[in-house]
């Protein structure tokens, strides 16, 4: 019986050691650009356009195996959209700055040096600030967003919390103790950017939509098992 217990204990320790050796922890930084719009309908005589923004942040990757890993990130990202007149040069443009935390499942495939990968998972964001830019009859004005704490007499306030889904694909190339990577993602916001006491007639949810491209470097902290 004692020999059996010793054998079982040895097997458990060996399994833990193997599991630990297979796990890899990496940290990295990235930056890039965004192409953005807002869902929903537009008023008569207007059309939606895409806007450009930028993003940067830090990422951590915890590998469970040579294929699958979990990748949380903390990023600053610009989103927003633009509505333009169909007949004049008038427009209104929103730039929305978010602090965002995606939690992504990652699967990678390929050789030792060059790999491809896909990512998918939820994100949570906080609308930290931004600006509105308006052009009316050739006169442009810019103003910082003044957030409402409560729904006032106008029956409206901004919704500063955003939840959504982030998914995409990319490629990475091993350099030194880590890898350089390039990825492209699509961010699909699930929360309306507005809160109303009573929604306007024919109103449709206005949520973030963004194409996000980034370049970065991931540095491996733990040694390969």
User: What is the per-residue pLDDT across 84-142, written as a single tens digit (0 to 9) for each?
Assistant: 888 888 889 999 999 999 999 999 999 989 999 999 999 999 999 999 999 888 788 88
pLDDT over 60 (residue 18): no
pLDDT over 60 (residue 4): no
What single string gives the DSSP state of each residue in 97-128? EEEEEEEEEEEEEE-SSEEEEEEEEEEEEEEE
Instruction: Considering the domain delimited by 24-220, tell me its CATH architecture.
Output: Beta Barrel (2.40)
* Close Cβ partners of 162 (under 8 Å, ≥ 6 residues apart): 98, 100, 123, 124, 125, 126, 127, 189, 190, 191, 193, 207, 208
Neighbours of 4 (CB within 10 A): 8
Residues 170-176: what's their mean pLDDT?
96
Nearest partner of 125 among 170, 158, 93, 150, judged by Cα: 158
d(CA 51, CA 207): 14
User: What is the three-class DSSP state of 154?
Assistant: coil
Domain layout of the chain by residue ranges: 24-220
């Amino acid at each position: 019986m004692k020999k059996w217990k010793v054998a079982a204990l040895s097997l458990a320790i060996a399994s833990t050691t193997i599991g630990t050796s297979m796990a890899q922890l990496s940290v990295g930084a990235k930056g890039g650009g965004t192409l953005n719009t807002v869902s929903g309908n537009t008023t008569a005589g207007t059309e939606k356009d895409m806007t450009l923004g930028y993003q940067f942040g830090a990422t951590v990757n915890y590998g469970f195996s040579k294929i699958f890993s979990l990748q949380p990130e903390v990023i600053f990202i610009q989103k927003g959209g633009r509505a333009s007149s169909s007949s004049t040069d008038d427009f209104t443009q929103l730039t929305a700055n978010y602090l965002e935390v995606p939690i992504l499942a990652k699967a990678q495939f390929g050789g030792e040096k060059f790999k491809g990968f896909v990512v998918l998972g939820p994100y949570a964001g906080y609308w930290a600030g931004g600006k509105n830019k308006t052009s009316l009859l050739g006169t442009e004005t810019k103003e910082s967003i003044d957030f409402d704490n409560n729904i006032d007499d106008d029956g409206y306030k901004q919704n500063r919390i955003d939840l959504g889904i982030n998914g995409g694909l990319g490629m990475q190339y091993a350099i030194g103790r880590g890898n350089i990577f390039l990825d492209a993602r699509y961010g699909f916001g699930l929360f309306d950017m507005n809160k109303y006491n009573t929604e306007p007639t024919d109103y449709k949810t206005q949520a973030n939509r963004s194409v996000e491209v980034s370049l970065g470097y991931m540095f491996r902290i733990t040694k390969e098992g």
